[in-house]
Each structure stands twice: as structure tokens, then as C-alpha cells.
Structure 1
Amino acid sequence: MSEASIRQLIRDAGTELAAITDVPRLEAELLLAHCLKKPRSYLYAWPERTPEAGQIQQFQAQVKARRLGQPVAYLLGEREFMSLCFQVSPATLIPRPETELLVEQSLLRLPEQEAVKVLELGTGSGAIALAMAHARPDVLITATDISVSALDMAQRNAGLLGTSNVRFLHSDWFSALLPGARFALIVSNPPYIADHDPHLEQGDLCFEPRTALVSGTDGLDAIRTIVSQAGQYLTPGGWLLFEHGASQGAACCKLLQQAGFRQVDCISDAAGLDRISLGQHFPETDLSTTPR
């Protein structure tokens, strides 16, 4: 199709994309606006305009890629999270709406008007750390990842957002931290899918980095590592919060309790599914003075 109006392009693409998504028109609009380098409002204001031939070809190529399963976020190169725009690539997980709950719950547990330190494990695109830093510019955040490519993307996002209170560190979980490092809060969205989970072959998961998704036969290997070591890096009364799968809440709470965490709880997302487990840490010497 060498010539077509914006309205026709959206209509035809929506018909094609209906086979792969529940929101075909929205995705068609997002892809076309991206190719035109215009906001979506432009599509509504000028539906009869005909894009240039090169723009139409680019749009049709993106629609084809989406039909083959490519995530919209990777095709656009960006995803909104906590009302901030983050660049993403196949080197990072795509930030998801349910993870905003993890940020919100973490912010609730930070002391107000106190310049504390926070640690994020497995930062990926930097979405969690940078969203927290944006909400609390007085807090100093260390964000780690084992992937150099992911850290490059996170640092790029920090630059685009003008964030100066996040330090990025190449680390396998806690491995690169100094022994005396202490944080008021540790937060993570770690890999938590089991090795042979059939969902890995479906939807966006097919295209996302497997190392950021999979964690052992039951999906809990990374969480076990984090829970078992987090106490060494938390200040007295510090919090650990992490995301997990909907069926893993009970197991995660048990791990926290076995590691000596107090105030252990599991928080559900908007769909009513277990999504976040958390606990508060006190050194053993403080347990006798801590209310049970």
C-alpha cells in the first residue's frame, strides 16, 4: 500500500493485529504515532492525511513484527512506568503495571524527610530505582545488575530523566557490595519463573531475556539467595520487599520467616493475586526489645 490515509492505516493494522492482541487499535495507533514521530493526538486531529511512503513502509514492517509476537515496547523502544518514560530493549525486562505496586509499597516504608539509603537488586532498565528516586530525590539508591547491557540501558534512562541520586553497580546480587554497606530498604523484582513453565513460550516472555525471568525448578532460587543474605545489608528495622509469582506468596513468606524477618506479609495486586512479599529485619540482639 503506497498511499493510504492515517485512518485507513489504523483500520487495516487493527484488523491484522486483532489476531494477537486484545487492544489492536491502541497498538496500531502507538506504532503509527511512533513511525510518524508524532503524539497519538496527531492521529485524531489529522485522520485524512497521508504519511510519506517511507513512513508507511516502516509502519507496515512494525505491524508485521508485532503479528509475529514482538512486544510493542521493544518495537517502540520505550514503555511508561509510574508516569515516567523508560527506554527498553531486548536486554531488559519490559516494565509492567503490576510492578508499580512494588514501588508504591517501598515508598510507603521509607522514613519521611530522612536521607536514607536504598538498594535495588536486578535493576534491568532502572525503572524501579529511577521511579523511587524521582519520588524521593533525598534518598540515595544503589541499583545493581549482573547484565552490563541492562546497566547501560539503566544509566541511559537516568540521564534522560535527569536523575542524580541513583548509583549503578555491576553485581551478582550482593557480590559487589562492600561488607559494611547498610540500607534502610532493599527492593527487587527478581527472576521467579520455573525453568519449564509453559508461559515462557507465550506472549512477550518469548522475547525477554531468559536470565531475567527464570530461576530454578520452582522459580525461587533467586528469591532464596536474596532473602538469606539481605539481613546482612539492612539497618535495624530495615525492610525487604520483592515481587514474585501469584502462586508463590506462601512459600516466600515462609522463607522470610525462616530468615528471621518480622512483620512478614504478602500483598495482592489489583487483580487480587499475591504479588509482593515483605518483611522487616532486626538483628538478633534486638529481638528481645522488639514487640512480638
Structure 2
Amino acid sequence: MTASPSRLHTLRDYIRWAVSRFQAEQLFFGHGTDNAWDEARQLVLGALHLPWEMADSYLDCRLEDDERAHLQDLLQRRIEQRVPTAYLLGQAWFCGLPFIVDERVLIPRSPIGELIDRRFEPWLAQAPTRVLDLCTGSGCIGIACAYEFLEAEVVLADLSFEALEVANRNIEHHGLEDRVYTVQSDGFDGLPKQHFDLILSNPPYVDAEDIADMPNEFHHEPALALACGEDGLDLVRRILAQAADHLTETGTLIVEVGNSQVHVEALYPEVEFTWLEFARGGHGVFLLAASQCREHQALFRERLRS
């Protein structure tokens, strides 16, 4: 797939060539972009530490030999190995903030980011003082909340020690060590007697059928963060069964389940989940008030055992 160095000289050359190759090879775009042009621009400019907003006139700048070699390597890995661009660059953006990412964590893309940007209006009666980001991965959801709620203490919890290493790097990168910290926890097990005003979770929820059908790009992400049983709800069942024990009196639970929304609705037809809507795309995110979690806790525990 190697492009001829004698023919590609400028940023514009490499972006144009990458667009053509991405489309010819039918790459999947779903980790920050949704089309070949934006993906190519993100990879080429990001690899050379250039801003996305750079004036188009600079695209005609000629590249040094080492820059061209670096781009050749990254483009080859993107096309031949289907490595997502965020992993190639070691960075992804979420809620307008940069996050360190690698193959130990999912690439940030949750629609919960739109809720954070809106400060969860109209769903929160008041700003939370304690926030839990359960199954945190890179820490992007919890850290973005820390920017919106300046007085809040934020806990980032995950079963994966490797993921928490990345989350800790992001806490340090954003200078939030004074009120954001990590806890290794399998669901709520590592958080005994802790209570939160807001619990957010983007847990593993992909069912067996969807896992089998996923494009190759997704298989670079940690399987532990994606798949969770035949219907994708093994961990979601546990979260629902225990959430009432960890929410404050007026707390709120928000959980992303994506395409497994159909399984949630089939498993709990008695529960009036609030399914949130998103202007920027996304689906399968439900909200429950603490009172609902308490009201249905016996049901949630029963279905956990079934």
C-alpha cells in the first residue's frame, strides 16, 4: 500500500491520498469521525501535532523526510491493521477535552458527553457534590464532569487495573488530583457504603450477536470493556440491583446500554426507564431516580438471580 515518496510532498497530498485509500479499503469510521475526509485530516494533522483548525493555506506546506516516513507508518497501520486513529495518535477528544488513550481503554465516544455539556439539564435538581463514573476506562466521563461541577468530588471506578493506569494519567494531565481519584472495583464491590448524588456508567453491554458483527476496528479495543454475556446485560443487572444502596436520597443513575436497550426493556417491562434523547446522535441511555431504584430493587435483585 506504500505511497510513492516522489509523488506525495505536502499535507494536502497525504490527506487526499489517505481519503482515496480509506474509501477504497472500506475502512470503518466510528471512533471520533464518520467519514474518510475527517478521518484522514485528523490522522495526518494529529500525527504532525498540527491543529485541526489550521488554515487550508498551510496544507500546501512540504513535509520533511522524517515526517513523511512517520505518516507512511501510521497510514499503513490504519489501513492494513485497521488500528483506530485515536490509538495511533494516543489521544482522543471528549466534551472538548483531550484524553490520553491506548488499547487498554475504549476510545471515548459516549453520548453521555452531550448530557455533561448540558450539565444534565433538566434532570438534576442541583449540582452533585459526589459523582461516580463506574466502568470509567480512560476516565473521560468523570473528568469531564469535574470540569462542569467545580465543587464535586469524582470517583473513577473500573475492574481493569490497566484501564485505571490510563485514567490516572488523565487525572494528572488535567491537574485534578485534588478531587478526582480512582478505585479498582468490580461493579460496586470496591465501593462499600459509599453514596453518590450522580452515578454514570458506560459499562460493557454489547451482546454476543453484535460482538460477532463488529468491524475489525473494534477488536483493537479491550474485550472486557465491550462484551458482557449473551444479552450484554450481565453487569447492567448487577448495577441495577445495587444502585439504590449507593445513591443519595435524591440521587440519579444514568447508564448507557446502546443496542441492548431492547434487552433491558424486555427484561424489566414493569420499570419506567427514562430513555434520553440526543441532538448529536446516540441512543440507548436510560435514567432512573434514586426513588425508582429503591422502588424496584427487589425486582432488580430477583432478575439478577434468574
- Report TM bin, short chain: 0.7 to 0.9
CA distance in 2, matches of 1:152, 1:206: 21
Q: CA deviation at 1:129?
A: 0.1
Alignment CA distance shift 1:230-1:134 (3 Å)? same
Per the alignment, residue 23 of structure 2 pairs with: 18
Q: What percent of counterpart residues are identical?
A: 31
Q: Which amino acid in the other structure matches residue 180 of structure 2?
A: V
Instruction: Choose 214-223 or 12-21, whichever is displaced more.
Output: 12-21
Matches within 5 A, 1:1-292: 1-3=4-6, 4-19=9-24, 20=27, 21=29, 23-42=35-54, 44-68=56-80, 69-96=82-109, 98-103=111-116, 107-108=120-121, 109-112=123-126, 116-163=129-176, 164-178=178-192, 180-198=193-211, 200-248=213-261, 251-252=264-265, 255=268, 264-270=273-279, 274-282=283-291
Change (3 A) 1:47 1:101: closer
Q: Which runs of 5+ in 2 are unaligned?
A: 296-306
Could you state the TM-score of these two structures normalised by the residue count of structure 1? 0.85
Q: How many residues align?
A: 278
Q: What letter is aligned with 1:206? A: H
Query: Offset of 1:266 from its aligned partner?
Result: 1.3
**Separation in 2, partners of 1:40, 1:216:** 39
Change (3 A) 1:43 1:6: farther
Given residue 93 of structure 1, which amino acid in structure 2 is its aligned partner? Answer: L
Following TM superposition, by how much is the alpha carbon of 1:222 offset from its aligned partner in structure 2, in angstroms?
0.9
| TM-score after normalising by structure 2 | 0.81
Cα distance in 2, alignment partners of residues 253 and 271 from structure 1? 27
- 1:82, 1:253 → 2: CA distance? 32
Cα distance in 2 for residues equivalent to 1:242 and 1:67 = 33
Distance 1:182 1:256 in 2: 27
Shift of 1:229: 0.6
| Residue ranges of structure 1 left out of the alignment (5+ in a row) | 285-292
Answer yes or no: is the 8 Å Cα contact 2:254–2:285 preserved in 1: yes
> Separation in 2 of the partners of 1:77 and 1:254?
38
Following the alignment from structure 1 to structure 2, what is the Cα–Cα distance between the partners of residues 177 and 255?
A: 26
Q: 1:271 to 1:6 in 2, by over 3 A?
A: closer
Give the secondary-structure state (helix, strand or coil) at the position aligned to 2:276: strand
Deviation at 1:63, TM superposition (A): 1.1
Are the structure 2 counterparts of residues 35 and 141 from structure 1 closer, same or farther at C-alpha, using a change threshold of 3 Å? closer
Indicate the RMSD between aligned Cα atoms, in angstroms. 2.6
